[in-house]
Structure 1
């Protein structure tokens, strides 16, 4: 089974930390929806006989679309693709868009999972991030959403300058008080050419502190475990039965297509990415052209991607798969590179699978980079 990711490239305003592709001008929204539907039609044969198991609206801020516009896009999927009986259909949403009427309308649509960008329940954090919502709207949106949706995820950001561990734990406690079954939580990062990078460079905001982020992460792990959540991926925590099916498919290397400007696609061998320019994307689709570049992944690329995604998840890296899919040279290299990390207690081999320990979870990306294969002739 496969998934469809739909990138909606519009936001009300720019968050200071964000480097995703979006526009704050809604002038091309109608043309964009037409183009997205056209791309879906043009790519309908890519799945062959695979059924669509997940549909995910990301962005940007997909909740700026009306429920009718969202349903138009979903209807296009159903018209041109085979879809399983009960697919997971997720909409990323911002609290300020989730009025009671909007939530009720969404609950009557094919959308059955909300991913709400809370980020923080504290006003000072939201202002620093330049979020479009305030703390009151964050809480109100959850109070309303939980009345109509059982499958809800929220995003929280840790490692924020001036955020004490006490304030971070209050964020987690507030989130848990709404009874939501899934939390995605990420360390604040400084991406080049963002407002946050500029503010830090000018001394207007304190530089980020990895030690503070590590403390916050360990507090998060403890709180999630105490409340019955599984840390099934480094940044994702779900109660049993509420893991993100869409994201899990990514991490397990399943096929998906990405529709919309800047969206990525993957079929196990090739990776494609759409142009990250709204006007050029719309113009290309208007003449039935796919504005996409494609690369064929080498064996080393596929090995490195498997290491990166595998170590971030509870499923780890299968040593049997490494040997059968990539060969003995990769297998021996991986074991050799992993030795020091096993000795340091951040990696362990369980059931012929290499996984990070609790101590190693926050370090997963750094560990993975040390296990990457570099410049192996193929």
Structure 2
């Protein structure tokens, strides 16, 4: 079982915090759609699957695509792979792209899950992040989506400069009015080569202090768990049986094929590859019948570290049996030595064969994971 990720790189406007590959110049949009379909033809043999578990349209802003364009990509995938009635097919949507006709059309062509990038219902937050939509557009979009789709996710951001605990609670409670099946909530991070990074360096924006961000994080967990959402990954919450298949498979290290500029692929073992982060370069290579790919075989230590990082973030935790089977006894001994102080500090919990992060450890998950890495 495996998945396909389609990266659509175009955006109407650049968000100040985004470090994904994107372009606001959409003159090559039609050529890009054609090249994505050609890449599927060129690479479909790389992914061996009886049936796809998931297809995910990300970006960028894939909701810029017309219904006809989305449908043509799904049809191309269907020519090369088996899509069952259980295949999760997600498309990311921006609030300003949502209309009743568009959302109904997405459902009709086979999209069965949406992920809407609300981020905040407060205009001051949206302005600070240079989002292209308004709070009113988010509310109207959610009204439409909640009527047409049962399965959809809402993205929210916390740790926003100038945003209080009360502000973030308001954002969560506003979104909960629509009773989404899933939430993805991420802390705003300062990434290199972004407008936000430039502003922070020049001190025109001050990032919030850690203890405020932790308060927002803890309150978020409290609210969602009180509403019976499962906290199945550090940044993700779902009603029972509505966990994201695409995300879960990524965290579980299952194989996936990444299509489009800058898209990453993984063979489920030790091979990772990625497409060139240039739309023009991508188009040129595909049109010449060449793959715009680079890749690497992960060292055992790199694969181990990746497994630790991803697994520790999930409710499934780290499997001691898998560590021994895949990486060997030396890695298992090292891990057992490294976890001891975190167990003593009640940041990790050993439950039979499984190492899980505790409630106290969740906010520090990345720091704890790095301490378990093999350098």
Separation (CA, whole Å) in 2 of partners of 1:62 and 1:207 = 30
Match of residue 84 from structure 2: 84
Once the two structures are TM-superposed, the CA of residue 18 in structure 1 deviates from its matched residue by 0.4
Match of residue 170 from structure 2: 170
Separation (CA, whole Å) in 2 of partners of 1:289 and 1:210 = 47
Separation (CA, whole Å) in 1 of partners of 2:150 and 2:209 = 36
SS of equivalent residue, structure 1 residue 43: helix
Match of residue 195 from structure 2: 195
Structure 2: runs of 5 or more not aligned: none
Q: Deviations over 1:130-176 (max 9, x none)?
A: 00000000111001100000001011000011111011111110111
Q: TM-score, normalised by structure 1?
A: 0.97
Once the two structures are TM-superposed, the CA of residue 211 in structure 1 deviates from its matched residue by 1.8
Once the two structures are TM-superposed, the CA of residue 68 in structure 1 deviates from its matched residue by 0.8
Separation (CA, whole Å) in 2 of partners of 1:61 and 1:140 = 18
Once the two structures are TM-superposed, the CA of residue 327 in structure 1 deviates from its matched residue by 1.1
Match of residue 299 from structure 2: 298
- Is 1:351 the equivalent of 2:361? no
Checking the alignment, whether the CA contact within 8 Å between 2:36 and 2:260 is kept in structure 1 is: yes
Match of residue 140 from structure 2: 140
Once the two structures are TM-superposed, the CA of residue 287 in structure 1 deviates from its matched residue by 1.0
Separation (CA, whole Å) in 1 of partners of 2:106 and 2:327 = 45
Match of residue 364 from structure 1: 365
Q: Deviations over 1:299-345 (max 9, x none)?
A: 11111111000100000001111112211110010011111111111
Alignment of 1:67-78 (within 5 A): 67-78=67-78
Q: Deviations over 1:169-210 (max 9, x none)?
A: 111101111011100000000011111111122222113422
Q: TM-score, normalised by structure 2?
A: 0.98
- Is 1:337 the equivalent of 2:338? yes
- Is 1:280 the equivalent of 2:281? yes
Separation (CA, whole Å) in 2 of partners of 1:207 and 1:217 = 15
Match of residue 310 from structure 2: 309
Separation (CA, whole Å) in 2 of partners of 1:212 and 1:110 = 42
Once the two structures are TM-superposed, the CA of residue 49 in structure 1 deviates from its matched residue by 4.4
Structure 1: runs of 5 or more not aligned: none
Match of residue 109 from structure 2: 109
Q: Cα RMSD (Å) of the superposition?
A: 0.9
Separation (CA, whole Å) in 2 of partners of 1:283 and 1:107 = 33
SS of equivalent residue, structure 2 residue 170: helix
SS of equivalent residue, structure 1 residue 45: helix
Separation (CA, whole Å) in 2 of partners of 1:276 and 1:211 = 36
- Is 1:21 the equivalent of 2:21? yes
Report the count of equivalent residues.
374
Separation (CA, whole Å) in 2 of partners of 1:328 and 1:75 = 46
Q: Deviations over 1:244-295 (max 9, x none)?
A: 0000000001010100000000012200000000000001000111101111
Separation (CA, whole Å) in 1 of partners of 2:168 and 2:133 = 19
Separation (CA, whole Å) in 2 of partners of 1:351 and 1:59 = 40
SS of equivalent residue, structure 2 residue 310: helix
SS of equivalent residue, structure 2 residue 132: coil
Match of residue 290 from structure 2: 289
Alignment of 1:259-278 (within 5 A): 259-267=259-267, 268-278=269-279
Alignment of 1:225-264 (within 5 A): 225-264=225-264
Moved over 6 A (4+): none
Separation (CA, whole Å) in 2 of partners of 1:66 and 1:37 = 15
